[in-house]
Amino acid sequence: MSKRDVRHLTGRGSFVDDIALPNILRCVFVRSSYPHAFVRGLKTPQNTSEAKIFTWSMLSKIVRPFYLSFPFEGCRNLEVSPLANQRVRYVGEPVAAVVAEDLYVAQDAANSVEVEYEPLPRVSDMFSYGDTLYDGWDNNTMVKFSRKYGDPFGEMERAEVVVEERIATHRVCPAPMETRGVVASYDAGRGFLTVWSPNQNPHMHRTVLSEVLNLPESRIRVISPDIGGGFGQKGHTYAEDVVVAALSILTGRPVKWIEERRENFMAAAQSREQVHLVKIGADKNGRIKSLIDEAYLDLGAYPLIPHSYLELAHVVIDMLPGPYRIENYAAEISLVVTNKTPAGAYRGFGHPEATFVRERALDILAEEIGLDPVTIRKRNLISASDIPYMAATGMIFDSGRPLETFETLVQQAGHHDGGDCEVVGVGYAVGVKGSVPTMSGVSQRWGSSEAAMVRLSMDGKPVVFSGAVSMGTRLDKLLAKIVSEILSVPEEDVEVVLGDTLSTPFSTGLWGSRGAVMVGGAVAKASTILRQKIQHISSILFECRPEDVILENGKVFVKDAVENGLTLSELAWKVYNNPNMFPQDMDLSLMAEAVYDPPNIWQAPDELGRMNATAAVSTIACAAFVTLDVETLEVKVKKLVLAENGGTYLSPMDVDEQLTGGAIQAYGASLFEEVVYSNEATPLTTTFSEYLLPTAVETPSIEIIHVVDPSPHTFRGAKGVGETATIPVNAAIANAIQNALKKKGISVKIDLSILSPSRLWSMVRK
């Protein structure tokens, strides 16, 4: 067990709530209890001498609104103030902030604040017509995207079989174990702000803070300590982040805010709520001729940045054809604002939604034609003989073998028998994950590259500096392993510094399954450069050619002269303390920085609107085995089998843990987890009593089959696996339930991704 594992297993991790600074103030937010209303007044209690209350009028002296402007034709721009400015648009929106030396004093003061609201008509769903959220808008559509490849409408008319369905994915909350939080400390003497935040991308977080706080980035330091789960929800810069930083500037004292679970359900990013009107045309043998989709995505009150829902919409468009040979394709997506919590990133980022819609539609098409679900997939999946294959959208399958991966799943998945009064259903789904995406093609900011630095300390031990973060994926262990292999030193000797914008090179952080491929690639590149430097410097001492210098077990030596070698510690001491031993103009810096960017990523679409926006493509197939009690419609998932084509595995144990965790997360979202709002846009799921998570008791058996196809373009052929398992599970379970219902003669069409008994009964009654 490594020292990095021991640190967490013995409770020695350092999370944002562990940050303790002298003279610190605690912050509590007053939040809107109305989904849509004017704020007409705010009455503070008389006895608040120990607490101070801040509103937008006070913060606006030093804080700008978020300016939400996106580079898309016809996109409406928004200005959103971090504290409500005369109007609230969702339950949980911050209206005021309260600070006090004691948390309970701040909570009591916040509970005593009376806000006068003038209610406005609610926009409770994407199809509420008439009332609008923003002045000057004639509807609630923020932007509409359209793309067309080939001749989808002509081929649809010529298709022998056409199915058209309304399929929806439900709203969920990532619900990480650690909620959000922030500690900010402003040094007025230096004009310097330090922020501790469990943010997945501290460098981008610093950029957004700089823009809203009107401070130069060079005067802001963001430190991401250990993160207790991110799942995309912690990839945004929130109103609370800005407010806490501003409060430290205004009060001259450090300020801490730690989110309560109820706040997390009301105010942190939710995701996945979409409605698709999908149409598939095929010939009588089940070969797909055309795919057309009209989709609506619920933005909530406004988009979050970075990693906005507008970017997710493009992912949905790209991923809807999936790993199938679909040459004629059209998609139109409308992003609609509602009086719900803002929508944002969640593990999978558009892939699970697109996969659910497509895989359900495929099963419905198979039923219409009279084919079984396995056959229709085999007839349309991209095969090894097709690779390299460019999809209609521009995504390039340079490896992955979708057909062969699916066939492996079917051959090895086995079967499962149900008990009395239970029916066994089997369902399949195949998905694709584009890992390591670029941001520049959609957001026109930041790009795809990753930088890292590796330095040899005075004692000869390497230190890695990366702007990525520690959030439970054991990235630090992987980076230490890479450096250990390249510099030939013990893994335990490698120190890893993550997530500090003051000491690490720029990074876009951990998202899009970037860790192993991008951060690992940058660290490997920097380590290789440092190795060459060590060889060059050592060659002066050994009076030999650099290529004759060998690094092994923490030592440098020349072949056949091991006894005359040096330890890296001895070499470092000579370099740092006796530089006169070397030529005067020689580069003696025992450090190397490198930028890694796979060559196959396109940073902009071509003239046909196609774009290969990712460095690697993984195929993931799932078989779900369920039992169904036909009296209660209670579903039990007995077994999930995953066949994952994920490239070279740099750390096999961690790969299996990521796949297992992702599958459980998707399983929970399939049967238990749903964010529910009333018809008046009031959230009804604000605790774990209403928002149910699966426990070890409910979790099914999960089997993993590895089908290895290295990427030809990435570091060591690796592909991202952090999100892969979240992609096909929901669809496979839905297809298995549909299969079980069919066996029992129950006529119902599953058109929604939440599969709880109450939702299944609603579908039956329809």
Task: Report the CATH number of the 449-596 domain.
Answer: 3.30.365.10
The answer, as to whether pTM is greater than 0.75, is: yes
Residue range 655-677: average pLDDT? 97
Residue with tokens 């659910």: 356
Q: Quickly state the pLDDT bin for 417 (edges 50, 70, 90).
A: low
Residue range 652-660: average pLDDT? 94
pLDDT confidence of residue 33: 98
pLDDT confidence of residue 3: 77
Tokens of 187: 């040094």
Which residue spans of the chain are classified as CATH 3.90.1170.50? 15-120+181-227+233-259
pLDDT confidence of residue 82: 99
Q: Quickly state the pLDDT bin for 562 (edges 50, 70, 90).
A: confident
pLDDT confidence of residue 441: 63
Instruction: Reply yes or no on whether the pLDDT at 476 is more than 70.
Output: yes
What does the alpha-carbon distance between residue 469 and residue 455 come to, in Å, rounded to a whole number?
A: 19
pLDDT tens for residues 69-104? Answer: 998 999 999 999 999 999 999 999 999 999 999 999
| Mean pLDDT over the full length of the chain | 96
**Higher pLDDT residue, 70 or 296?**
296
pLDDT confidence of residue 419: 62
Domain covering 15-120+181-227+233-259: architecture: Alpha-Beta Complex (3.90)
pLDDT confidence of residue 439: 76
pLDDT confidence of residue 420: 57
Residue range 552-558: average pLDDT? 96
pLDDT confidence of residue 47: 74
Percent of the chain with pLDDT over 90: 90
- List residues bridging with 397 in a β-sheet: 389
Instruction: Reply yes or no on whether the pLDDT at 10 is more than 80.
Output: yes
Helix (H, G, I), strand (E, B) or coil at 114: strand
What does the alpha-carbon distance between residue 304 and residue 232 come to, in Å, rounded to a whole number?
A: 11
Which residue spans of the chain are classified as CATH 3.30.365.10? 274-441+602-765, 449-596
pLDDT confidence of residue 567: 97
pLDDT confidence of residue 442: 66
What does the alpha-carbon distance between residue 174 and residue 83 come to, in Å, rounded to a whole number?
A: 24
Tokens of 40: 């007409």
Concatenated DSSP letters of 718-750:
B---TTGGGTTHHHHHHHHHHHHHHHTT-----
Residue range 625-641: average pLDDT? 94
Q: Of 690, 637, 746, 610, nearest to 266 (Cα)?
A: 690
pLDDT tens for residues 685-716? Answer: 999 999 999 999 999 999 999 999 999 999 99
Instruction: Reply yes or no on whether the pLDDT at 201 is more than 60.
Output: yes
pLDDT confidence of residue 766: 77
Please check whether residue 299 is in contact with residue 262, taking contact to mean a CB–CB distance below 8 angstroms: no
Q: Quickly state the pLDDT bin for 447 (edges 50, 70, 90).
A: confident
Which DSSP letter does residue 635 get?
Answer: E
Q: Quickly state the pLDDT bin for 436 (edges 50, 70, 90).
A: confident
Least confident of 71-75, 147-151, 237-241, 253-257: 71-75
- At the topology level, CATH places domain 274-441+602-765 in Aldehyde Oxidoreductase; domain 4 (3.30.365)
pLDDT confidence of residue 701: 96
Least confident of 83-92, 364-373, 451-460, 756-765: 756-765
Measured on CA atoms in the order 317, 320, 323, 327, is the torsion positive or negative?
negative
- Other C-beta atoms closer than 10 Å to the C-beta of 370 total 10
pLDDT confidence of residue 8: 85
β-strand pairing of 255-258 with 25-31: parallel
